[in-house]
Amino acid sequence: MSLNFTEIEAKWQKKWDESKAFKAEDNSQKPKYYALDMFPYPSGSGLHIGHMASYTPGDIISRYKRVNGFNVLHPMGYDAFGLPAEQYAIQTGIHPALTTRKAIESFRKTLQSFGFSFDWSREISTCEPEYYKWTQFIFLKLYERGLAYQKEVPVNWCPALKTVLANDEVIDGKSERGGHPVIRVPMKQWMLKITDYAERLLNDLDKLDWPERTKEGQRNWIGKSEGARVTFKVDGHGDSFEVFTTRPDTLFGVTFMVMAPEHPLVKKIASSAQAKAVEEYIFATSKKSEVDRKATTEKTGVFTGAHAVHPITGEKIQIWIADYVLMDYGTGAIMAVPGHDARDFEFATKFQIQIKRVLEGGDTLPFEGEGTLINSDFLNGLSQKDAIKQMLSHLEAKKLGVREVQYKLRDWLFSRQRYWGEPFPIVQFADGSRGVPVNELPVILPEVADYEPADTGEAPLARNTDWVRYISADGKEGRRETDTMPGAAGSSWYFLRYIDPHNSEAPFSPEAEKYWMPVDLYVGGPEHTVGHLLYSRFWMKVLFDCGLVTHDEPFKKLAHQGMILGPDGEKMSKSRGNVISPEDIAKTHGADAMRTFISFMGPVDKDKPWAPTGIDGVKRFLDRVSRLVVNDEGQYVATKDALTEDIQKLVHKTIKKVTDDIESMGFNTAISAMMILVNELYKTECRSELALKPLVQILAPFAPHLAEELWEKMGGEGLCSLAPWPKYDSNLVADDTVTMGVQVNGKMRGTIEIALTASEQEAVAAALAVSTISSVLAGKNPDKVIYKAGRILNLIVK
Ligand code: ANZ
């Protein structure tokens, strides 16, 4: 009978809780370490294995840093507003406030049962008024700075969810949550001007220790393009229009123009002969989603009957409309260069428009590579790069165009026609909208019986006429904003609330911000790359500009956890029936085994299939560790014996390996190293506390409950979770002998086992003693020796 893990785990969770073992200190002289996990949505379906995979790495690091002299902030909370909670509430018919609170209770209980070393005194929930008061406060800061505005925009409307969605919430034309179809319709919405921060959001990525693919994901989403805005006159009209091009070098290759069907000039310039076809095409396009328009399906379009005038050659060029040109990028109109742009080529081919080559290179057109300019007047013979420069100067000198930078990034659509979110602290008066005075915050989300969204797009709060009616201090009547903020509002700054969670005067104190920020390690999924992770950076920069924070990036280092797949190697899902529930594993194997197995399965950021035999193996390993201290009869069997030299060295090497591996988040190899040590202890029948105490300490970040129990049994001082990390002696960890390959005339002939400090003479002597080497030498002495200690020994004979 090994130790009863269920009892042990409950016992130590209680002790940690009672002694507030993991409380982060506020006025500490110690260096700080802020380890943050992405907080969960408290949905009704409970915590899943993905949460465990996500929270285990940060907990290991927190526990490790805590015993290495750091004042560690490791908090947890709930992203409690937003669609999932509300959808669940609508399905069950119970108020979202109730279902959310219930889900939070269950989440907290499960999280505690896994021994995560969170500072529970800092727990926050974004749906509580004392929290969202400050979300509203920050919104007012954005509003005051002109970074929050209302606009009629084509939005992603999801008829099934009855709300609009942000671009990152729509994947392949379907809602990210639920996979419902999403269509484009114009609606008046709140927008946040994240585009004002595009350049800083792009540049500051360079100072972050984030996975490269995540930074690249943000770079692409921001999508900076440098080029020119060129003006074209409409032939026979007083009008002109502009195009955005990244390729001003190809201006002499333009053979037609394309406007987005929504372009304001289209109806005006369409010839009477083409008017009907144009109208019909505009109507057909209005039914297409942006995703469909961007898809590489067959090109469609209609000639407007109008012509543009080439700004340099004066040639007349047909103006078309086509849905592959989008209204909300660049200027909504392009100069088409079918010789060197594949989309334009396809279009020109279909509609039999002239195709001109203006760059040398490639056998066939379209040629999209780099080349030398031809058929291009004063650009002929120039490289593409020089031609771009030359053309830009020419356009600017002749006032035909200007240099321009474009970003793909769009302003953040920030309102939802839903109930379960932060009310906007905004009132519409007859003469315009105004923010409510700060002393009226929070604007409480009223309790309503009827919180279902309407088909019309009108927010549920609008039905609450008493709440909507607002009388200002100076007696003016207004109407409260009835939309609510999106789920990502509360999560855009929650890391700042943990640092001072009970402050009722401010979102956080300046001292707390100075001390605790930025987050030293943030662990969470890569799916948040262009949503939450970008929004948080944006809000942090706005707060920085307001002088409310002293750091302009929230997360110094970011790590992603991989997915835990089912035993079949597929993503876990109810329909596949391959879901592993953490609660079940906690019952059969215990939290320690679960945490250790998750760490042992492979590198943190890789997807890993769950292996039932794997967790059994890890459980056996933990049992083996415990039997070194207490045998199956419950007798204490550890000794105070001195260690042999070999075991002493191995203990120190293992401490070093585990230390280095935790630092680099290589948890799986840390556990392997501990397994090797445990095997050696069994082999040599060593049960000495001198080996076991450090072993238990370095095991503690992974299997903290068992470590505490064994530590207590061995008479360790205080909590193992707080005992200083064992130190290794660097003299004992140096590998003093190495195995080296030996070459004769560059050809590998054998190996020698030799001290790292061995001289050339000693190395040659050792080599000559190996028969496979001496037989090749056939009695001759080497004429020349190439020797680098520990690396190479090459004997040269003539
Ligand atoms: C002429 C040209 C020639 C272009 C050539 C490309 C290649 P990125 O890099 O993504 O910024 N474009 C501009 N506005 C557009 C819109 N609203 N909808 C669709 N396409 C648009 O792409 C910039 C290029 O995409 C621009 O440069 C323009 O085509 C097109 F050999 O102008 B180019």
**pLDDT at residue 1 tops 60:** no
Nearest one of 384, 388, 364, 365 to 373, comparing CA atoms: 384
Encoded amino acid at 694, one letter:
P
- Residue 330 CA to ligand 1 center (angstroms) comes to 8
- Residue 395 CA to ligand 1 center (angstroms) comes to 18
**pLDDT at residue 296 tops 80:** no
Q: What is the pLDDT of residues 212-231, one digit of tens each?
A: 999 999 999 999 999 999 99
Phi, psi of 345, rounded to the nearest 5 degrees: -65, -45
Phi, psi of 165, rounded to the nearest 5 degrees: -130, 150
pLDDT at 92: 82
- pLDDT tier at 101 (50, 70, 90 boundaries)? very high
Q: Work out which ligand 1 atom sits closest to the CA atom of 337.
A: 3
Q: What gap in Å lies between CA 325 and CA 304, rounded to an integer?
A: 15
Q: What gap in Å lies between CA 126 and CA 538, rounded to an integer?
A: 19
Domains of the chain: 143-195+411-480 (no CATH), 224-407 (3.90.740.10), 611-732 (1.10.730.10), 735-796 (3.10.20.590)
Residue 151 marked in a binding site: no
Tell me the sheet residues that pair with 188: 152
pLDDT at 783: 92
What is the DSSP secondary structure assignment for residue 574, as one 8-state letter?
Answer: T
103-112, 170-179, 231-240, 499-508: the lowest-pLDDT one: 170-179
Cβ(384) – ligand 1 distance below 6 Å:
no
260-274, 472-486, 602-616, 767-781: the lowest-pLDDT one: 767-781
Please, is 783 exposed, middle or buried when counting C-beta atoms within 10 Å of its C-beta (0-12, 13-18, 19+)? exposed
Q: What gap in Å lies between CA 388 and CA 370, rounded to an integer?
A: 12
Cβ(229) – ligand 1 distance below 6 Å:
no
Hey, what are 509's tokens? 């104190």
Hey, what are 759's tokens? 């001289």
Calculate the average pLDDT of the chain: 94
Cβ(341) – ligand 1 distance below 6 Å:
yes
CA distances, 108 to each of 9, 59, 113 (Å): 16, 15, 9
- Residue 326 CA to ligand 1 center (angstroms) comes to 10
Nearest one of 147, 148, 185 to 163, comparing CA atoms: 185
24-38, 93-107, 202-216, 509-523: the lowest-pLDDT one: 93-107
Q: For ligand 1, atom 22, which residue shows the shortest CA distance?
A: 246
Nearest one of 26, 54, 72, 200 to 558, comparing CA atoms: 54
Best residue among 331, 334, 337, 375 to mutate for probing ligand 1's pocket (most ligand atoms within 8 Å of CB) is: 334
Q: Are 739 and 659 in contact (CB under 8 A)?
A: no
- Residue 409 CA to ligand 1 center (angstroms) comes to 15
Q: What gap in Å lies between CA 400 and CA 242, rounded to an integer?
A: 10
- pLDDT tier at 435 (50, 70, 90 boundaries)? very high
Cβ(330) – ligand 1 distance below 6 Å:
yes
- Residue 283 CA to ligand 1 center (angstroms) comes to 24
Please, is 439 exposed, middle or buried when counting C-beta atoms within 10 Å of its C-beta (0-12, 13-18, 19+)? exposed
Hey, what are 169's tokens? 């919430």
Q: Are 422 and 491 in contact (CB under 8 A)?
A: no
- Residue 85 CA to ligand 1 center (angstroms) comes to 41
pLDDT at 187: 85
Phi, psi of 391, rounded to the nearest 5 degrees: -65, -40
Q: Is the dihedral of CA 524, 526, 532, 534 positive or negative?
A: positive
Cβ(726) – ligand 1 distance below 6 Å:
no
Q: What gap in Å lies between CA 118 and CA 482, rounded to an integer?
A: 36
Q: Give the ipTM of the model, two decimals please.
A: 0.96
Alpha-carbon dihedral 307, 308, 314, 317, rounded to 10 degrees: -60
Encoded amino acid at 191, one letter:
M
DSSP three-state, residue 212: helix
Q: For ligand 1, atom 12, which residue shows the shortest CA distance?
A: 334
Encoded amino acid at 391, one letter:
M
Q: For ligand 1, atom 26, which residue shows the shortest CA distance?
A: 245
Q: Are 33 and 72 in contact (CB under 8 A)?
A: yes
Best residue among 288, 341, 360, 368 to mutate for probing ligand 1's pocket (most ligand atoms within 8 Å of CB) is: 341
- pLDDT tier at 293 (50, 70, 90 boundaries)? confident
451 or 594, greater pLDDT: 594
Cβ(334) – ligand 1 distance below 6 Å:
yes
Tell me the sheet residues that pair with 415: none
Q: Work out which ligand 1 atom sits closest to the CA atom of 248.
A: 1
Q: For ligand 1, atom 14, which residue shows the shortest CA distance?
A: 330
Q: Are 100 and 85 in contact (CB under 8 A)?
A: yes
| pTM of the predicted model as reported, rounded to 2 decimal places | 0.88
Q: For ligand 1, atom 13, which residue shows the shortest CA distance?
A: 244
Q: For ligand 1, atom 7, which residue shows the shortest CA distance?
A: 341
What is the DSSP secondary structure assignment for residue 418, as one 8-state letter?
Answer: -
- pLDDT tier at 178 (50, 70, 90 boundaries)? confident
Best residue among 222, 232, 244, 365 to mutate for probing ligand 1's pocket (most ligand atoms within 8 Å of CB) is: 244
Length of the chain: 798
In this prediction, residues 265-294 reach a mean pLDDT of 90
DSSP three-state, residue 528: helix
Hey, what are 731's tokens? 């003299």
End-to-end, the C-alpha distance of the chain in Å comes to 69
